[in-house]
Amino acid sequence: DTGVSQNPRHKITKRGQNVTFRCDPISEHNRLYWYRQTLGQGPEFLTYFQNEAQLEKSRLLSDRFSAERPKGSFSTLEIQRTEQGDSAMYLCASSFESGLYGYTFGSGTRLTVV
């Protein structure tokens, strides 16, 4: 097990295009989280899953954003009709049950919308 894996590492897209990111959590972790980080700021919570159930979505997650975790394993985050304001680092993390002892983050996907 090599930790949380995210693909792609970098994505450049034109405004208006759709993009999809993938996250593979640590295998025994049943919780999976998505965060977004912009330059000079700390990560901001977007959503999380317990197994395959999406239990909370932030107000930051507009209707252009959708996340799935089929079968409780990997997760995808899709952004439709990208805007320049979507440019950020998208971070995935996982934990076993509670997050009270912290998460393990993946390497992130850096999105640039041009």
Partner 1 sequence: QKEVEQNSGPLSVPEGAIASLNCTYSDRGSQSFFWYRQYSGKSPELIMFIYSNGDKEDGRFTAQLNKASQYVSLLIRDSQPSDSATYLCAVILNDYKLSFGAGTTVTVRA
Give the three-state DSSP class for 73.
coil
- Considering just the CA atoms, what is the radius of gyration of the chain in Å? 13
Q: Which is nearer to partner 1, 34 or 82 (CB)?
A: 34
Q: Which is nearer to partner 1, 23 or 113 (CB)?
A: 23
CA-nearest of 23, 18, 25, 27 to 6 is: 23
φ, ψ for residue 71, nearest 5 deg: 65, 10
Please count the residues of this chain forming the interface with partner 1, following the rule CB under 8 A. 25
Among 88, 91, 111, 113, binds partner 1 (CB under 8 A): 91
Q: Which is nearer to partner 1, 3 or 16 (CB)?
A: 3
Other CB atoms within a 10 A radius of the CB of residue 68 amount to: 13
The footprint of partner 1 on residues 3-22 (CB under 8 A) is none
Which residues partner with 113 through β-bridges? 13
User: Using CB under 8 A as the criterion, which residues of the chain lie in contact with partner 1 when the complex forms?
Assistant: 31, 33, 35, 40-45, 48, 55-56, 89, 91, 98-108
